[in-house]
């Protein structure tokens, strides 16, 4: 299969790649653009940790650790090459307001475009709910915003702290460095106290560690907060498998799925293959099933080239139950009408 060409591959242009602690911001240079960013490599300094590097590049710690297996996240050592997973596919669905893709542990913000200017995208890593504190799905909105919020721990959270042998929580935690909401909070229009907020524990951003809320790096929520108005729509989606077309080439991005409690689980290959087939719809595509299965099962969160757009008259072959014997030959799948490249 031919490699992706560097020139002309993306229909989204990079506005700024943060050198230190801020959102990645892109402009959509085409209305149907779905793929943006780039994969990078950086070399560690002696004092670096993978947690430091993740925050520096506006990434969650887990997504950096996942694509650098076998590397000690606390002591990677000097002179080590670290993969920075900076290329990604936009989630499907509306391009307005805030879109949170829970398996990806990532928030996308689409501000209203200015007249005559392309749409911008701001994207940030997040933490989501853990265990029985799962983050809900569906459409909602920003119902309220607070700077320097106080936190009133629910009775269930106070009992959890005591059960875990931790000191009892006060009835109200004032604003300040000990407040787990950080300096900014935006309440969602859902039943219950669901917030998008900062944190006093930034190392955990990118993990399923919150009580159902959406937690952001302090510098990220500080940037997002003034851009978001009360009433902004918020879409909470569960999309572990995403695809993009780049000049007739099919890229697949898979993330570890989450269960009903918001916990990351091992990918079920059969389920993921079904999600891929659904995402492809009526497209005719020659898929390299070895690569596709490896990408689905690994769920590393990085776009991988897995297929080519097929000719309209090419014979359609369903997905095999086992990888094809000719590992180098792509297999056609889908319906008879080819889809136009959305990229």
Distance from the first to the final alpha carbon of the chain: 19
CB 81 within 8 A of CB 45: no
| CA 173 to centroid of chain Cα atoms | 31
Alpha-carbon gap, residue 114 to 132, rounded angstroms: 41
CB 130 within 8 A of CB 263: yes
Pairing of β 88-89 and β 97-101? unpaired
Q: What 8-state DSSP symbol labels residue 181? A: T
The residues, ordered by sequence, that sit 6+ positions from 185 with a Cβ below 8 Å of its Cβ are 145, 146, 149, 195, 196, 197, 198
Say which of 105, 213, 255, 288 is annotated catalytic.
213
Task: Please state, as a whole number, how many other Cβ atoms lie within 10 Å of the Cβ of residue 202.
Answer: 21
DSSP letters of 29-47? SSTT--EE---EEEE--TT
Alpha helical stretches, state H, 106-177: 155-163
Question: Is 197 tagged catalytic?
Answer: yes
Pairing of β 184-188 and β 138-147? antiparallel
Closest CA to 84 of 70, 65, 71: 65
Question: Is 22 tagged catalytic?
Answer: no
**What phi and psi values does residue 156 have, to the nearest 5 degrees?**
-65, -40
Task: Please state, as a whole number, how many other Cβ atoms lie within 10 Å of the Cβ of residue 2.
Answer: 8
Say which of 22, 197, 255, 288 is annotated catalytic.
197
Q: What 8-state DSSP symbol labels residue 264? A: B
List residues with catalytic annotation: 197, 213
């Amino acid at each position: 299969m031919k490699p992706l060409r560097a020139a002309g591959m993306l229909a989204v242009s990079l506005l700024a790649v943060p050198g230190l602690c801020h959102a990645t911001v892109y402009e959509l240079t085409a209305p149907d653009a779905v793929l943006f960013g780039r994969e990078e490599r950086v070399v560690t300094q002696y004092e670096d940790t993978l947690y430091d590097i993740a925050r520096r590049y506006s990434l969650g710690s887990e997504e950096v650790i996942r694509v650098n297996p076998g590397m000690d996240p606390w002591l990677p050592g000097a002179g080590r090459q670290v993969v920075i997973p900076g290329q990604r596919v936009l989630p499907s669905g509306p391009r307005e307001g805030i879109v949170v893709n829970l398996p990806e542990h990532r928030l996308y913000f689409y501000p209203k475009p200015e007249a005559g200017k392309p749409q911008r995208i701001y994207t940030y890593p997040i933490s989501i709910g853990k265990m029985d504190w799962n983050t809900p799905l569906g459409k909602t909105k920003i119902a309220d915003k607070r700077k320097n919020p106080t936190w009133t721990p629910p009775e269930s959270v106070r009992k959890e702290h005591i059960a875990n042998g931790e000191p009892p929580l006060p009835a109200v935690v004032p604003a300040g460095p000990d407040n787990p909401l950080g300096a900014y909070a935006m309440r969602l229009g859902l039943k219950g106290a669901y917030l998008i907020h900062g944190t006093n524990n930034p190392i955990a951003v990118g993990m399923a560690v919150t009580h159902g809320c959406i937690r952001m790096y302090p510098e990220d929520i500080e940037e997002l907060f003034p851009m978001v108005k009360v009433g902004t729509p918020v879409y909470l989606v569960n999309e572990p498998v995403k695809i993009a077309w780049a000049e007739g080439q099919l890229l697949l991005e898979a993330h570890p799925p989450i269960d009903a409690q918001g916990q990351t689980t091992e990918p079920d290959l059969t389920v993921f293959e079904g999600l891929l087939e659904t995402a492809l719809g009526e497209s005719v595509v020659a898929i390299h099933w070895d690569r596709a299965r490896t990408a689905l099962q690994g769920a590393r969160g990085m776009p991988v080239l897995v297929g080519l757009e097929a000719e309209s008259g090419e014979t359609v072959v369903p997905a095999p139950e086992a990888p094809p014997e000719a590992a180098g030959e792509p297999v056609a799948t889908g319906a008879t009408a080819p889809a136009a490249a959305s990229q």
